[in-house]
Amino acid sequence: MNMKTTEFTQEKIHTILSAQRKYFRTGETLDVKWRMAQLRRLRQAVIANREILEKALYEDLGKSPSEAYLCDIGPVIVEINEILRGLKRWARPERHFSGLMCFPSILTTVYKMPYGVSLIISPFNFPVLLTLGVLAASISGGNTAVIKASSKSAASTRALQKIISETFPEEYVTLIDGGHDVADMCLAERFDKIFYTGSPAVAKHVLEAASHHLTSVALELGGETGNWCVIRADADLKDAARKIAFIKLCNAGQICINVNQIAVAKEVAEDFLAELKKEFVRQIGENPEQNPEYPKLITQAAYDKCAKLTEEYSDRVIFGGTGDRETLRFAPTIIYPVNKQEEIARHELFCPLLPIIPFEDGEIDRLAETIADREHPLAMYVFTSDMKWAKRFMSTQQYGGGCINEVCIHMMVKGVPFNGTGHSGMGAYHGEWGFREFTHPQTVLKGSTHFNLPLREHPYSDKAGDRKKSFLKLFEK
């Protein structure tokens, strides 16, 4: 199968969806061993096509083979392995004692049922991980899947389309490409589950479309006002700079859990900035826009947006600020000082720009109020040696996930959920949480045909009613 964008009409998408719904109703996807076999096929396909995926990621985003494997390909294999280890246990029906109120029907079972036909809308920034990682969760739940991959990461979409078509029949899993028009065609259909990764603005459109069919939706979003990193005066500045430089260089800042703006205590701001500059140079060199290992921005429009914003703050660019429009590489750029109320500190940047907001360390509570007043971020990072404060701060703010004295690797922890809340998402996935996201718990009570008491039946009045009420009160315990 080698479809082109122009082949995807509303009729074609409806035909694919109808075939998948028919296939789902055969019941084949309900068998857990069968699902595990499909996951192994997917894992083997990823391993066999690793070089193809690496080349595609370099073509789309300028990722070196090592970064492509570290951030996009390897985590898919890890995710599949985790699912394979736990799926039999997660999918096992739960047995519950029904309680005295239900006597003599004492056994109730909760089945973990797939939704049916799922729609996965994946983004450009991690096109392999955020397509196949979500697909693995969908498969684990027993669903079929239609994948709408990003048209911006065209090479990766072509590679994924090849892998999917060679691995699975179209009536089980199929990947389509195209722009927003094709996505809208998908959203016009009645799917049973939608998983969208992208921006809050588009997520509102997805939710609105899903509401027409009352379709269950999971959203993984970057957060409208960006992810905060707070550096207290007592932080290990060299350690913080090293880790922040790594995450800001990764994928040229095009990461939903990236550091968007840094609030650093004034008392140590100059020292921190000196360390951060040194780390950028150490990790990527003095001319990153000429370094073939440094990723690029996805499109010329993304590059121009980054360059324009840099120009607006040119009087406060203290590091970087240069780029190459031909290669779409833009240097990591530090902008300092920035007021927390300025526009650049109030929205997700999704590029290598890094506004630095100084604050008085003694007024950390005021900064915390500002962060809490804005839309919930997908990630939150703090650097400090005061663990008591850090734990209080991290347990009272609202965000998707985060780290104390670290960045980003919370999403790599096995057995824990990943996603945001509000403008940074809804639902959760990874491992068992992904299985839960793509299944519906179905409660079934097994009734008894013997020893049934007339407690629930009329009459409810006079002495008969009083006796029934007395018995029912006993059952409350």
Q: Concatenated DSSP letters for 134-156?
A: HHHHHHHHT-EEEEE--SSSHHH
Tell me where in the chain the CATH 3.40.309.10 domain(s) lie: 228-420
**Assigned token pair, 477:** 């315990």
CB 217 within 8 A of CB 427: yes
What is the model's pTM? 0.95
In this prediction, residue 2 carries a pLDDT of 41
CA distance 117 to 190: 9
Q: Contact, 438 vs 144, CB < 8 A?
A: no
CA distance 144 to 117: 5
CB 205: neighbour CB atoms within 10 A? 16
Q: What is the pLDDT of residue 188?
A: 98
Specify the pLDDT at position 477. Answer: 66
Joined tokens for residue 222? 């970057």
Q: What is the pLDDT of residue 4?
A: 45
- The whole-number pLDDT of residue 230 equals 98
Assigned CATH topology for domain 228-420: Aldehyde Dehydrogenase; Chain A, domain 2 (3.40.309)
CA–CA dist 171, 319 (Å, integer):
52
**Residue of 71, 229, 250, 256 marked active site:** 256
> Into which CATH architecture does domain 5-222+426-440 fall?
3-Layer(aba) Sandwich (3.40)
Q: How far apart are CA 472 and CA 315, in angstroms?
A: 76
Residue range(s) of every CATH 3.40.605.10 domain in the chain? 5-222+426-440
Q: Would you call 306 a catalytic residue per the annotation?
A: no
Catalytic, out of 79, 82, 189, 220 = 220
Question: Known catalytic residue: 256?
Answer: yes
**What average pLDDT values come out for the chain (477 residues) when binned by 10 residues?**
62 98 98 98 98 98 96 97 98 93 91 98 98 98 98 98 98 96 97 97 97 98 93 98 98 97 98 98 95 97 98 98 97 98 96 98 98 97 98 97 97 94 96 98 95 85 85 75
